Amino acid sequence: MPKVTPFRAVRPTRDKVGLISSRPYHHYTLAEREARLDNNPFSFLHIVNPGYKYHKEISGPDRYELVKNRYQEFREDHIFIQDKKPNYYIYRLIDSDKQVFTGIIAATSLESYKSNLIKRHEETIAHREDDFKDYLETVGFNAEPVLLTHQDNETLSQIIKEVTKERPEYEFTTTFRDTHYLWNLDDEATLKKIQEEFNHMDHLYIADGHHRSASAYQLYEEFKKNNPKHTGEEPYNFFMSYIIPESNLKILEFNRLVKDLNGLSKEEFLIKLDNSFRIQNRKNTYYKPEEKHQFSMYLDGDFYSLHLRKLNFKIENSLSHLDAQVLYETVLHPILGIKDPRSDSRLDYAHGKKGMPFVKGQVDNGSFKVGFGMVPATVKEMKDIANEGLTMPPKSTYIEPKLRSGITIYEY
């Protein structure tokens, strides 16, 4: 069954954690990054954006080497410390909407990943796997855990309840009004109990972080091959994960934006849509679908509701039931000519936090011709697809929580 172990995290000192933690690099605008880099010498952004020191954009292997150097400087200056004993880490995030996410940060076995005890539901892109594997190999650490989920477990919930009664090691609030807490857990009896609970589970599921886990697996295979004294317990045999019960996941949709109508006029496009959908023009009335197989569309200044004609669409498995796949099979591919949604430059995505008003703005300003909205996928859909060995189209789910970088670090 899945092997999930405690580990010795490298992490910020208590007094600096709020200064160090950052959102992933690409979540900032250029102006936001520069403001943080200019005014906060402890930000983790200094590590992942090492060219800032030289006022130069640096990419590829040169950047990886400098990331390693910046990280070592933070270690040498005792901004980061490493726990002396292996820990599980109880991590709680209360977001600005007051939703509470609580789970366990741990080291998860890549042998379990290889054996499909950790199930995947998304395709990965080879060059992204390769790039991040090279990055990990050079820098020697990972600062963003993969989000895993499991069926709700009363024993783990009770342990977490007892641990979180104590004062946390970290407690800080960000400018996004998210509050973060972390508790160290190194009591051997409790560690053993947690590990046994994971051992009794049939599977864990990747909720977010498919590329990170795939890259860690590539690195594991390379290190294992090149280590004649391989034991299976070296750090490279594991990847850092944040494991939460499935009832604690929050799944939002990804809306679709397309740059043109594939040579069709508006009227021709609507006629083709009529073969698969009941269409209602809602003019300027904002429309958000509430049920599966219903879609919102914004085109030429008007909102439309699209309800799938189910008699004309054959549902063969869990994937063909998924709204993102329905939209691909009925509209994106046959009508708009998008063959590969992973790479077609005419297609873009906007997560559900931005909503259809963002889609409307992108169409109104001429960046895109048409936009589509849908209801979010469910945890059950995600698990069913993984259990059947199928994969969702890219950007089928926007899953929270989104953790900050630099709070716990896993060294290889």
Q: Which ranges of 43-100 does DSSP label H, i.e. alpha helix?
A: 45-48, 60-76
Would you say 244 and 103 are in contact if contact means Cβ atoms under 8 Å apart? yes
Q: Dihedral, CA atoms, 340, 342, 346, 348, nearest 10 degrees?
A: 140
C-alpha–C-alpha distance, residues 342 and 210, integer Å: 14
CATH of 254-375, one of 3.40.50, 3.40.710, 1.10.1330, 3.30.1760: 3.30.1760
Going by C-beta distance under 8 Å and a sequence separation of 6 or more, which residues neighbour residue 9? 82, 83, 87, 89, 105, 408, 409, 410
- Report pTM: 0.92
One-letter amino acid for residue 363 of the chain: V
pLDDT in tens, 234-261: 999 999 999 999 999 999 999 999 999 9
Place of tokens 């040498």: 76
pLDDT in tens, 67-82: 999 999 999 999 999 9
- The encoded tokens of residue 251 equal 């799944």
Helices and strands, counts by H and E, the chain: 14, 21
The residue extents of the domains of the chain are 4-250+400-411, 254-375
One-letter amino acid for residue 402 of the chain: K
Q: Whose CA is closest to 79, among 141, 14, 23?
A: 14
C-alpha–C-alpha distance, residues 406 and 401, integer Å: 16
Would you say 123 and 394 are in contact if contact means Cβ atoms under 8 Å apart? yes
Element spanning 360, H or E = helix 355-364
Q: Whose CA is closest to 384, among 253, 263, 267, 246?
A: 246
C-alpha–C-alpha distance, residues 37 and 11, integer Å: 20
Q: Whose CA is closest to 101, among 162, 180, 18?
A: 180
Please report, for residues 130, 132, 164, the alpha-carbon distance to residue 60 in angstroms, rounded to integers and kept in the order given.
Answer: 12, 10, 41
Would you say 4 and 243 are in contact if contact means Cβ atoms under 8 Å apart? yes
Task: Compute how many other C-beta atoms are within 10 angstroms of the C-beta atom of residue 161.
Answer: 10
- Chunked in runs of 10, what are the mean pLDDT values of the chain (412 residues)? 97 97 86 92 95 89 96 97 98 94 98 96 86 96 97 97 97 94 97 96 96 96 96 97 97 96 98 97 93 97 96 90 96 96 91 92 97 96 95 91 95 96
* Dihedral sign (CA 34, 133, 110, 225): negative
pLDDT for position 362: 97
C-alpha–C-alpha distance, residues 294 and 317, integer Å: 18
Q: Are strands 370-373 and 294-299 parallel, antiparallel or unpaired?
A: antiparallel
Please report, for residues 53, 54, 353, the alpha-carbon distance to residue 32 in angstroms, rounded to integers and kept in the order given.
Answer: 17, 18, 19
Would you say 131 and 58 are in contact if contact means Cβ atoms under 8 Å apart? no
Crossing angle of helices 188-199 and 154-163, rounded to 10°: 150
C-alpha–C-alpha distance, residues 72 and 75, integer Å: 5
